[in-house]
């Protein structure tokens, strides 16, 4: 889940955990999240990142037309049902059995026939090689071992396929201070992505692009007058676009869209 999903409980575990303990911790945390909807009162933060989310959603929809798609860390079908309106087929995976149960029920109620959901470890995909044209996910990679993630992505992507992710970044010292002061808002094992992760991605994909979002526009969360929120967000988002023209400053964004193309098979 995104780091800007200000979740209310964090499992209390040691930083020195095994892979299995880490995954059990993530599963328990997100099972509770999906069971209780602990994000429902945090709409202002979703609204601040709306320009990023809108770009991501429209881009994956555009790329999904008549394609086989994997939603990686799908939750209760975050984008799967919208993608299913244009894709040949959509498969969703998540570590949370609660989320997958909810997604399957939604598919049953909607009568959507070209979606399929599985409880699966994103670091150990069980699909055959070259299964998907497009893989997408929101705030999933920063919960994973990045190298294992990239290895799995390139294996199950078809030649010429692409992977798109909306992910938080971990370079902004002010945002990182806020994260340290509010540990209850996220899982203890998540790690917002760094420029070193971007470099690692280039070892697995021939083309890698990171589009940054939210720097000064984070201030819009403090606008209390509803009528002023949208113009304030638009103004600050425009300011951010100017700031992000400087390559070095892109790392200080709060969130981002990663576009990974031309997978290199191991």
Tens digits of per-residue pLDDT, 9-29?
333 333 456 776 666 655 555
45 found inside a domain? yes
Sign of CA dihedral 107, 82, 62, 154: negative
Buried b (16+ CB within 10 A) or exposed e, 145-165: ebeebbebbbbbbeeebbbbb
72 found inside a domain? yes
Burial class (CB in 10 A: 0-12, 13-18, 19+), 112: middle
pTM of the model: 0.84
Which secondary-structure segment (H or E) carries 168?
A: strand 157-168
Residue 164 CA: distances (Å) to CA of 37, 55, 63, 248: 25, 11, 10, 22
**What is the pLDDT, as a whole number, of residue 181?**
87
113 found inside a domain? yes
CB 169 within 8 A of CB 193: yes
3 found inside a domain? no
CA–CA distance, 257 with 176 (Å, rounded to integer): 19
4 found inside a domain? no
Q: Any idea what the CATH number is for the domain that residue 189 is in?
A: 3.40.50.150
Successive 10-residue mean pLDDT values, the chain, 266 residues: 34 53 57 51 75 97 98 93 98 95 96 96 97 97 96 97 98 92 80 96 98 96 93 97 98 98 88
9 found inside a domain? no
**What is the pLDDT, as a whole number, of residue 5?**
33
Q: What angle do CA 39, 118, 163 make, to 5 degrees?
A: 75
Task: Tell me the residue range of the domain where 60 lies.
Answer: 19-263
14 found inside a domain? no
What letter does residue 22 receive in the DSSP assignment?
H
Could you give the number of structural domains in the chain? 1
**What is the pLDDT, as a whole number, of residue 120?**
97
Q: How many CB atoms lie within 10 A of CB 92?
A: 30
13 found inside a domain? no
């Amino acid at each position: 889940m995104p780091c800007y999903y200000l979740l209310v409980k964090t499992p209390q575990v040691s930083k020195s955990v095994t892979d299995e303990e880490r995954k059990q911790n993530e599963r328990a945390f997100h099972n509770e999240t999906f069971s209780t909807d602990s994000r429902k009162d945090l709409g202002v933060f979703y609204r601040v990142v709306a320009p990023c989310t809108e770009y991501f959603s429209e881009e994956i929809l555009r790329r999904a037309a008549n394609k086989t798609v994997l939603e990686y860390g799908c939750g209760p079908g975050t984008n799967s049902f919208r993608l299913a309106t244009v894709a040949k087929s959509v498969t969703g995976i998540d570590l949370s059995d609660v989320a997958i149960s909810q997604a399957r029920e939604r598919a049953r109620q909607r009568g959507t026939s070209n979606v399929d959901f599985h409880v699966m470890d994103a670091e150990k995909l069980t699909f055959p090689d070259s299964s998907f044209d497009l893989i997408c996910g929101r705030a999933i990679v920063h919960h994973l071992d990045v190298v294992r993630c990239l290895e799995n992505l390139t294996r199950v992507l078809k030649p010429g396929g692409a992977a798109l992710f909306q992910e938080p970044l971990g370079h902004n010292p002010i945002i990182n201070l806020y994260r340290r002061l509010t540990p209850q808002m996220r899982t203890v094992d998540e790690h917002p992505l760094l420029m070193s992760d971007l470099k690692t991605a280039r070892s697995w994909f021939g083309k890698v692009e990171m589009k940054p979002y939210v720097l000064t526009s984070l201030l819009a969360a403090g606008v209390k007058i509803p009528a002023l929120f949208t113009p304030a967000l638009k103004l600050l988002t425009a300011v951010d676009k100017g700031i992000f023209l400087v390559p070095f400053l892109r790392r200080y964004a709060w969130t981002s869209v990663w576009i990974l193309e031309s997978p290199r098979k191991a």
